[in-house]
């Protein structure tokens, strides 16, 4: 398993992440796949599996679904173009295991957080969907039911090697953990997001984009590193 996952972003957003010590986990309404959260429904061919789809849809009525995207790859051109400010941004390398531990610490009756690898292969997707249906039928695991729509994605996005931080919170403004549902503008639309807290020791690496003018050797950048926690940039 790759223990470092990379979040591509602009330099401005990078600074907000570092100084705020939070990752913004945003509404799935602005994802880059038009089939986002519905791709899995093609595998619901039996009456029992269709009931699972209906159950998921019912559960969405009173929940907020937030996702933050990472990649297994540290220097991928398509990621720079799509998420790293056209190459002028940075890729923040987080320790996956540490983020998983933070997810476990947040989970409660009103919030579920989880990190998972996106599945692109159709055969593996069908197998995963059947396993989820079987576990739900046996009342074993409802966490996979929550995350199912966001685990399976079109094979056309395979190159991204995506890993997702998924959060499902209650529609109430505040959860038991004290997290607050906030709002921001993306592509002209107002969407919700949640701030996922992390520790600076969770960051393993910083990759500067091929078109970035960020000077990691400057006194100001070094001051930033020493102020918030020494981390390595390359």
233 part of a folded domain? no
pLDDT at 8: 97
pLDDT by 10s per residue, the chain, length 234:
469 999 999 999 999 999 999 999 988 776 655 566 788 888 888 887 887 788 777 665 556 788 999 999 999 999 999 999 999 999 999 999 999 999 998 887 778 889 999 999 999 999 998 888 887 666 555 566 677 888 898 999 999 999 999 888 766 655 566 778 889 888 888 988 889 999 999 999 999 999 999 998 999 998 888 887 656 666
pLDDT at 226: 84
Please report the sign of the dihedral spanned by the C-alpha atoms of residue 131, residue 135, residue 137, residue 138.
positive
Q: Which domain holds residue 47?
A: 4-228
Cα(101)–Cα(227) distance, integer angstroms: 25
Alpha-carbon radius of gyration of the chain: 18
Please report the sign of the dihedral spanned by the C-alpha atoms of residue 221, residue 226, residue 231, residue 232.
positive
Tokens 């990379």 belong to: 6
Helix (H) or strand (E) holding 9: strand 4-9
The token duo for 61 is: 């009525």
9 part of a folded domain? yes
Q: How far is CA 165 from the centre of its chain?
A: 3
234 part of a folded domain? no
167 part of a folded domain? yes
Helix (H) or strand (E) holding 64: strand 63-71
The token duo for 19 is: 């100084």
pLDDT at 141: 56
The token duo for 147 is: 């995350």
119 part of a folded domain? yes
30 part of a folded domain? yes
144 part of a folded domain? yes
Phi (first) and psi of residue 160, to 5 degrees: -65, -25
Residue 160 near residue 79 (C-beta atoms within 8 A): yes
pLDDT at 207: 94
pLDDT at 176: 61
Cα(163)–Cα(66) distance, integer angstroms: 14
Q: Where are the alpha helices (DSSP H) in the chain?
A: 11-20, 47-60, 77-83, 96-106, 122-137, 143-151, 219-228
Q: How many distinct structural domains can be found in the chain? A: 1
Number of Cβ within a 10 Å radius of residue 213: 8
Residue 190 β-bridge partners:
185
Beta strands in 171-212 (DSSP E): 181-186, 189-197, 203-208
pLDDT at 230: 59
pLDDT at 175: 58
Residue 192 β-bridge partners:
183
97 part of a folded domain? yes
């Amino acid at each position: 398993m790759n223990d470092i996952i990379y979040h591509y972003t602009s330099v401005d957003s990078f600074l907000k992440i570092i100084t705020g010590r939070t990752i913004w986990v945003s509404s799935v309404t602005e994802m880059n796949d038009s089939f986002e959260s519905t791709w899995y429904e093609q595998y619901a061919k039996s009456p029992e599996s269709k009931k699972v789809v209906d159950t998921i849809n019912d559960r969405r009525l009173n929940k907020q679904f937030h996702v933050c995207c990472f990649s297994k790859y540290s220097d991928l051109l398509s990621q720079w173009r799509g998420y790293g400010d056209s190459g002028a941004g940075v890729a923040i390398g987080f320790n996956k295991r540490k983020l998983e531990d933070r997810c476990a610490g947040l989970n409660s009756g009103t919030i579920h957080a989880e990190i998972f690898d996106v599945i692109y292969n159709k055969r593996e997707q069908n197998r995963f969907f059947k396993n989820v249906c079987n576990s739900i039928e046996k009342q074993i695991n409802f966490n996979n039911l929550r995350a199912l729509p966001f685990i399976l994605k079109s094979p056309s996005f395979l190159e991204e090697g995506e890993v997702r931080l998924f959060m499902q919170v209650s529609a109430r403004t505040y959860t038991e953990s004290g997290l607050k549902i906030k709002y921001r503008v993306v592509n002209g639309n107002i969407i919700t997001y949640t701030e996922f807290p992390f520790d600076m020791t969770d960051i393993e690496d910083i990759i500067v984009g091929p078109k970035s003018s960020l000077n990691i050797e400057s006194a100001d950048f070094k001051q930033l590193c020493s102020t918030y926690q020494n981390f390595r940039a390359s």
